[in-house]
Amino acid sequence: MKRILHCDANNFYASVECMLDPSLKDKYVAVSGNPDKRHGIILAKNQKAKECGIKTGEVIWEALRKCPQLVLVPPQYDKYVEFSDKIFDIYCQYTDRVEPFGIDECWLDVSGSLRLFGSAEKIADELRDRIKKEIGITISVGVSFNKIFAKLGSDMKKPDATTVIDEFNYKDKVWPLDVSDMLMIGKHTSQKLQAIGIRTIGDLANTNQKILVDKFGINGQKMHDNANGINDEQVRLYYDRHIPKSIGNSTTLPKDVSTRAESEAVIMALSEMVAVRLRKHGFVAGGLHLGIKYNDLSYIGKQIKMPQKINSATALCDFAMQIYDSYKLILPVRALSVTTFDLSSGDENVQLSMLENNDKNEKLERLDKSLDSIRKKYGYDALKSAALLEYPFITDGLVDSDFVPFKK
């Protein structure tokens, strides 16, 4: 039987901030966006702030109303990646099967490590102790025989706890939980399940499979299996090349934009950031999605398939503007997003298009790689497109605050 851990760093962003500034440790702390640039939401909070009812995603004024003594700090994504790398280095000392699930959590398959390090629970406790002493933050660990229950376990006790869900106790521990607590079940699916009387994971486990398949298709079968502990999905090898489903960036602008030229400058900045991440990891994209949020908070989005897979910022921007021009904008724009999908490794054979200027695309990619080298040495501001120079407010805070480095 497999032994799988799910490790989750507690209040990760806020915990890192408290490590970087020890004066924050006994205070109510939240990492937040900049309200002056309309990024005014809570991104993370420490345990003390959490106990005051502060929630991730709520606006700053609501959080301050709950906790007037709340200390707000801006995010430092480069530091979060640095701490994450140190934590993952410790995980990899126990097994090579370490699968990230975001920057602050992952699964570990320790089935092959038990003779060397002891039981899975012992490994979990040792990891908690080491990370607390060596890194300075706490983690919660779920121990189980599959990934779904291990994830549930790490969520059950926080902070700094180990929870074991095994073949003998899972019905007692898991089945009373709300059905929305289980991985893969979001808000809408949960509402649909509750509409047919399925409120707990136990209800889901004991529902006739045919009813679930009729209503949810193959996902109905998967949900039923997961609730019954039937899941043999492997934990990926840490150094396997994993291609994500999408890579994108978005920004809420410091002020609304109302002209095509201003929007294009924003889209160019976002395209550059997406392209850098694609090239950094050797990916090319075959599809692009552009999202537009108006100043009344209404949203529209559209995606296209590109005739050739690319990772050039200029080409991505061109395709995004094709989508933009297909809309008749009715209100000033508050936020924009550029997301690439249909990703593949850049070293794979790519079918050349008879309709595209392949030489031009290759030249653009070479140019972008040269820009990458210059910016790596001298910083992002060393070179900017003319559009960004004309509208300098567009990138104010965009690169440092909104660009979360992509982590394998």
Residue with tokens 């990024």: 39
In 3D space, the residue among 231, 227, 220, 233 whose CA is nearest the CA of residue 171 turns out to be 227
- Check whether the bond before 159 is cis (ω within 30° of 0): yes
Residue 398 burial by Cβ neighbours in a 10 Å radius (0-12, 13-18, 19+): buried
Beta bridge partners of 291: 301, 337
Strands 162-164 and 246-257: unpaired
Task: Report, as residue numbers or ranges, the catalytic residues.
Answer: 105
Residue 13 and residue 47 in contact, taking contact as beta carbons nearer than 8 Å: no
DSSP string covering 256-268, please?
Answer: EE-SHHHHHHHHH
Query: Could you give phi then psi for residue 143, rounded to 5 degrees?
Result: -120, 125
Residue 165 to residues 104, 115, 151, 226: CA-CA distances in angstroms? Answer: 21, 20, 10, 13
**Which H or E run contains 154?**
helix 147-156
**Cα first-last separation, the chain:** 28
Q: How many CA atoms lie within 13 A of 328 on its CB side?
A: 0
Strands 246-257 and 71-73: unpaired
Strands 162-164 and 98-100: unpaired
Buried b (16+ CB within 10 A) or exposed e, 228-252: bbebeeebbebeeeeeeeebbbebb
- How far apart are alpha carbons 368 and 272 in whole angstroms? 9
- How far apart are alpha carbons 4 and 94 in whole angstroms? 12
